[in-house]
Amino acid sequence: MGAEPPHTSELTAVQERRTRGRGAEPLRAKRVPKHQNEHHADGPILAALSLRHALLGVLKDRPLTGYDLVRHFQGTVGFLWSAPQSQIYPELRRMEAAGLVRAKVAPRGQRAQKRIYSVTDDGMAELRRWATDFMPLPAQRDPVHLKAAFFDLAPLDAVREQLRAHVAQFQWRLEQWQAREDAIRERRAELVEVWLARQRVDEHDNIIQLKIHALEGLIGRARAEIAWARQGLELCDEIEARRELSPLPLGEAARQRG
């Protein structure tokens, strides 16, 4: 997806850590396949598995080197699930050990070698299983909205700074998601044509519409977050105006201004 705007990078880092952090509690009544339970005993397992399935989703289109996989990841499912290169390569090795992908060693130049990864039959079966099985809604963990519940403890200028960064971040993401949606609709999106070429022609429109639907959820969420933050900025102005009409004691006024 590219780099986030510099002035929102710190906020984004917090949110991305939250996104990659603990997810939904496992369904106790359902047995988890062995290769899904090999990393962690609790929280991070959902994040690890989401990355695993995202990588399978990219590799299903065609074999890729690790370098190309990282590049295609950022240009495809990276719009839906963010992961740095430092997480992708270790997960690839775990997937290879679990038999979900295979790696073919090929020469790179005169001396070096490269590994070309492809999805195995077991890997494709796992991807279809994951796409089919019910997934419980992840637990709600949103640091910005949590912080907003305590905005009354902060000066209004600090609240405005947080909300303006929120608008800028989600405006940037909205533009990225809309551009990806347009590319899919026009069938010029990265790897989409490769996948369509292997599917029945009468299913092409259905596939495109389902992929667009995934992005429409994010687009709608971004618009809602932008509207929420702008409403907060208006609220700050209203509160400031009310305070000017009812002056606080000198010491308290200084504290409110920060």
Q: What is the 3-state secondary structure (H, E, C) of 114-135?
A: EEEEEECHHHHHHHHHHHHCCC
Q: 158 with 253, same domain? A: yes
Q: Give every residue of the chain whose pLDDT is below 50, as ranges.
A: 2-43
Q: 182 with 239, same domain? A: yes
CA atoms within 13 A on the CB side of 115: 11
Q: 26 with 127, same domain? A: yes
Q: 147 with 252, same domain? A: yes
**Structural domain span for residue 174:** 143-257
Residue 35 domain flag: yes
Q: 157 with 225, same domain? A: yes
Residue 101 domain flag: yes
How confident is the model at residue 108, as a pLDDT? 81
How confident is the model at residue 44, as a pLDDT? 53
Looking up tokens 């208006």 gives: 234
How confident is the model at residue 111, as a pLDDT? 80
> Which of 132, 158, 192 delimits the end of a domain?
132
- Please tell me the distance from the alpha carbon of residue 3 to that of residue 13, in angstroms, as a whole number: 11
Q: 120 with 196, same domain? A: no
Q: 203 with 120, same domain? A: no
Residue 128 domain flag: yes
Q: 83 with 147, same domain? A: no
Q: What is the pTM of this model?
A: 0.70
Q: 179 with 211, same domain? A: yes
Could you give the strand order of the β-sheet that contains 64-65, starting from the edge strand earlier in sequence? Answer: 64-65, 112-119, 101-108
> Which of 105, 132, 159 delimits the end of a domain?
132
How confident is the model at residue 193, as a pLDDT? 86
Looking up tokens 């990276």 gives: 78
The domain that contains 108 carries what CATH number?
1.10.10.10
> Which of 132, 155, 176 delimits the end of a domain?
132
Q: 156 with 127, same domain? A: no
Residue 2 domain flag: no
Residue 13 domain flag: no
**Cβ atoms within 10 Å of 100's Cβ, excluding its own:** 25
Number of domains in the chain: 2
Q: Is 247 helix (H, G, I), strand (E, B) or coil?
A: coil
How confident is the model at residue 251, as a pLDDT? 62
How confident is the model at residue 252, as a pLDDT? 64
How confident is the model at residue 28, as a pLDDT? 37
- Please tell me the distance from the alpha carbon of residue 53 to that of residue 33, in angstroms, as a whole number: 14
Per DSSP (E only), the strands in the chain are: 64-65, 101-108, 112-119
Q: 107 with 156, same domain? A: no
